[in-house]
C-alpha cells in the first residue's frame, strides 16, 4: 500500500484531458527580494481555482463502472468539495457534498452551481463528517477523503512532475502542509526524480496537526483556532493510511507562518503578481518573505495553491496588512 512515481505518471496521463498544466513563472519581485531565483506555480489557475482538481479528477477517473453508477460523497466547504463537484458534473457522476451549518451561504451556492447536492449538517467538521459517512453507507456512495487517498495523492503529485519538467534546476520546493495530500504527492514525485532536492513543509502557526504529529512521532490532535488561511488548519483522523508516514519520511524541514505574515504575502502577491489568492495560497510566499537569508542563491519554487476567497474579504485583509509596516 504505497504510492510510487509510476502512479503519479499514470495520474498525469489520466487527468491530461481534464486538467491543464498550470504556469510556472519566475517571480522578478521575489527573486530580487531574496537574492535567489524564485519561481511561482499558479495552481489558482485551474478550472476550480485550486490544485485539488488534480486529485479529485484522478480519483473519479479511477472509479469502477459500479462506483461511477452509484456516485460519490465528501465533506468540504472548500477546494476539495468544489473540485469533486466540478469533475463529477463533467463526468456525469452523482456528487454529494456535506457541510456544517456554519458555512457561509455563498459557498453553498458556489457548490450547487457546480452541480453538487449539498447536505448541511452539524455544528462542526466532525459532525458533518459523521453524517457523510452515514449517507455513504445508506446510499452506497463512495466516500472520498480530501487528502488520505492514494488516487488523490497521486493526482496532486502531478504538480511535482510539472515543476521539474519546466525547471529541472530547482533545488528547493516549498509546499503547504495541512492534511498532507499535496505534500505527499509532490514530495514523492520530486524525491523520486531528484533525490537531493530539499522539500520544505509550510504550516500555519495555529492548528498545525501534521507538523505536531510528525514532531510527536504519532498522530495527535491540536487545538483549532480560526485563521485567515482556512485551508491550512484541520484535524488528521487517527485512521490515517498514507499522508502521515509519507510526510514523515519525505519532508526535509518545516516553516510556520502567522496570519499577519500571510496577510502581507497576499498584499505582495496582489501588487507583484497581480493575483488575488486565499490565505492558504499565500503561505509559501509568506515563508519566503520572512526567511529571505535562508534561500539566498537558491533555485526555489513556491505554490499559489488556491484562490477560494471572496474578493471583498481578500481586499479588506490586504488593506489591513498595508496599514501596518512590513
Ligand atoms: C487543501 C489545500 C491545502 C493543503 O493541502 P493538503 O493536501 O490538505 O495538505 C493548501 N492550500 C489550499 C488552497 C488548499 O485548498
Ligand 1 and 79: CB distance under 6 A? yes
Take atom 13 of ligand 1 and give the residue whose Cα is closest: 306
Residue 115 has pLDDT above 90, yes or no: no
Closest CA to 289 of 309, 307, 271: 271
pLDDT of 325: 58
Degrees to nearest 5, angle at CA 202 with 104 and 275: 60
Ligand 1 and 68: CB distance under 6 A? no
* Average pLDDT score over the chain: 95
Residue 19 has pLDDT above 70, yes or no: yes
Question: 315 CB contacts (<8 Å, ≥6 apart)?
Answer: 276
Per cent of the chain over pLDDT 90 is 83
Residue 305 has pLDDT above 60, yes or no: yes
Closest CA to 58 of 7, 129, 101, 126: 7
Which pLDDT tens digit goes with each residue over 261-275? Answer: 999 999 999 999 999
Calculate how far, in angstroms, residue 306's C-alpha sits from the geometric centre of ligand 1: 8
Degrees to nearest 5, angle at CA 244 with 300 and 166: 25
pLDDT of 253: 98
120 pLDDT band (50/70/90 cuts)? very high
219 pLDDT band (50/70/90 cuts)? very high
pLDDT of 103: 82
pTM here? 0.96
Calculate how far, in angstroms, residue 111's C-alpha sits from the geometric centre of ligand 1: 18
Residue 132 has pLDDT above 80, yes or no: yes
Which pLDDT tens digit goes with each residue over 269-299? Answer: 999 999 999 999 999 999 999 999 999 999 9
pLDDT of 322: 87
Residue 218 has pLDDT above 90, yes or no: yes
pLDDT of 107: 82
Residue 300 has pLDDT above 60, yes or no: yes
Query: Are 207 and 234 in contact, with CB atoms under 8 Å apart?
Result: yes
Degrees to nearest 5, angle at CA 109 with 58 and 148: 30
More confident residue, 127 or 84: 84
Q: Span 219-229, mean pLDDT?
A: 87
Of 305, 307, 314, which is best to mutate to test ligand 1, by the most ligand atoms within 8 angstroms of its C-beta?
Answer: 305
Residue 224 has pLDDT above 90, yes or no: no
Calculate how far, in angstroms, residue 308's C-alpha sits from the geometric centre of ligand 1: 11
Quote the cell numbers at residue 81: 468539495
Strands 198-204 and 172-176: parallel
Which pLDDT tens digit goes with each residue over 225-263? Answer: 788 998 888 889 899 999 999 999 999 999 999 999 999
In the chain, alpha helices (H): 5-15, 28-34, 52-61, 65-70, 79-91, 105-113, 125-139, 150-166, 181-193, 209-216, 243-250, 259-273, 279-289, 311-322
Ligand 1 and 185: CB distance under 6 A? no
How many angstroms separate the CA atoms of 40 and 24, rounded?
6
Strands 142-143 and 72-75: parallel
Ligand 1 and 178: CB distance under 6 A? yes
- Burial track 14-35 (b if 16+ CB lie within 10 A, e otherwise): bbeebbebbebeebeebeebbe
How many angstroms separate the CA atoms of 153 and 183, rounded?
8
Which pLDDT tens digit goes with each residue over 150-208? Answer: 999 999 999 999 999 999 999 999 999 999 999 999 999 999 999 999 999 999 998 89
Which pLDDT tens digit goes with each residue over 55-67? Answer: 999 999 999 999 9
Take atom 2 of ligand 1 and give the residue whose Cα is closest: 231
Of 182, 211, 247, 275, which is best to mutate to test ligand 1, by the most ligand atoms within 8 angstroms of its C-beta?
Answer: 182
Amino acid at each position: 500500500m504505497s504510492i510510487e512515481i509510476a502512479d503519479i505518471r499514470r495520474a498525469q496521463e489520466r487527468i491530461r484531458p481534464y486538467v491543464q498544466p498550470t504556469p510556472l513563472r519566475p517571480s522578478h519581485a521575489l527573486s530580487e527580494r531574496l537574492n535567489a531565483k524564485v519561481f511561482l506555480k499558479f495552481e489558482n489557475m485551474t478550472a476550480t481555482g485550486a490544485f485539488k482538481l488534480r486529485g479529485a479528477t484522478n480519483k473519479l477517473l479511477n472509479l469502477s463502472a459500479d462506483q461511477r453508477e452509484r456516485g460519490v460523497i465528501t465533506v468540504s466547504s472548500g477546494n476539495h468539495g468544489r473540485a469533486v463537484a466540478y469533475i463529477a458534473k463533467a463526468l456525469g457522476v452523482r456528487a454529494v457534498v456535506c457541510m456544517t451549518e456554519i458555512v457561509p451561504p455563498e459557498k453553498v451556492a458556489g457548490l450547487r452551481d457546480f452541480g453538487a447536492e449539498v447536505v448541511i449538517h452539524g455544528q462542526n467538521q466532525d459532525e458533518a463528517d459523521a453524517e457523510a459517512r452515514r449517507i455513504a453507507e445508506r446510499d452506497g456512495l463512495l466516500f472520498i477523503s480530501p487528502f488520505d487517498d492514494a488516487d488523490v495523492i497521486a493526482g496532486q503529485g502531478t504538480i511535482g512532475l510539472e515543476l521539474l519538467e519546466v525547471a529541472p534546476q530547482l533545488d528547493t520546493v516549498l509546499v503547504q502542509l495541512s492534511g498532507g495530500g499535496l505534500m505527499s504527492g509532490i514530495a514523492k514525485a520530486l524525491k523520486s526524480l531528484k533525490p537531493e532536492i530539499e522539500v520544505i513543509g509550510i504550516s500555519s502557526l495555529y492548528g498545525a496537526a501534521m507538523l505536531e504529529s510528525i514532531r510527536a512521532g504519532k498522530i495527535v490532535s491540536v487545538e483549532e483556532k480560526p485563521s485567515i488561511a482556512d485551508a491550512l488548519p484541520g484535524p488528521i483522523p487517527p485512521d490515517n493510511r498514507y499522508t502521515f508516514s509519507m510526510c514523515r519520511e519525505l519532508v526535509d524541514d518545516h516553516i510556520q507562518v502567522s496570519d499577519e505574515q500571510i496577510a502581507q504575502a497576499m498584499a505582495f502577491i496582489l501588487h507583484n503578481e497581480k493575483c488575488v489568492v486565499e490565505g492558504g495560497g499565500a503561505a509559501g510566499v509568506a515563508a519566503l518573505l520572512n526567511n529571505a537569508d535562508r534561500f539566498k542563491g537558491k533555485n526555489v519554487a513556491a505554490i499559489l495553491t488556491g484562490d477560494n476567497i471572496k474578493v471583498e474579504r481578500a481586499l479588506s485583509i490586504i488593506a489591513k496588512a498595508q496599514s501596518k509596516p512590513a
